[in-house]
Amino acid sequence: MHKARLEDINKLFLEYRRLFEARDAEQIADFYRFPIHYYFSNGKKSELSRDYFIGRVKKLLKLYEKLGVSQIVGAVTDVIELNENTSLATLNWVLLDSTGEKPRQIYSAITRYLVCDVEGELKIDGLIGVNETQQLKVALREQ
């Protein structure tokens, strides 16, 4: 993998994370090429339109608010180059409540993203849920 491509993927997800912290569903959707394919952790697959995706992100952001998520840390843990235009990026997301004296981890989850070069710009083309749904349910029960 070219070092520049890896740096571009890291930059993409740094900005993506920032918009999740800002709770801006519309701008989060700008990182995707629609329709996207979402692969759920239960094995189901859906093709999502931009409007539907924004609605799902808004629901997720409300759950983050309910859980007290104030900071999100994301680390690209693996990138597999599938071809010259497409990569599979694995990210570990750590959701924190940083309002107290010491940040408290609410949960961490792994998500995989199909990232494609679209007209010279990286876009997320597919989203593969690994364990966030499960981690989110556990965090809500523990609240």
Give percent of the chain above pLDDT 70: 99
pLDDT at 92 over 80: yes
Hey, what amino acid is at 61? L
Higher pLDDT, 6 or 2: 6
Mean per-residue pLDDT of the chain: 93
Class of domain 3-142: alpha beta
pLDDT at 1: 56
What pLDDT, in 10s, does the model give residues 43-59? 899 999 999 999 999 99
* Predicted model pTM: 0.91
For residues 35-64, one letter each, b for 16 or more C-beta atoms within 10 angstroms of the residue's C-beta and e for the rest, the string is ebebbebeeeeeebeeeebbeebeebbeeb
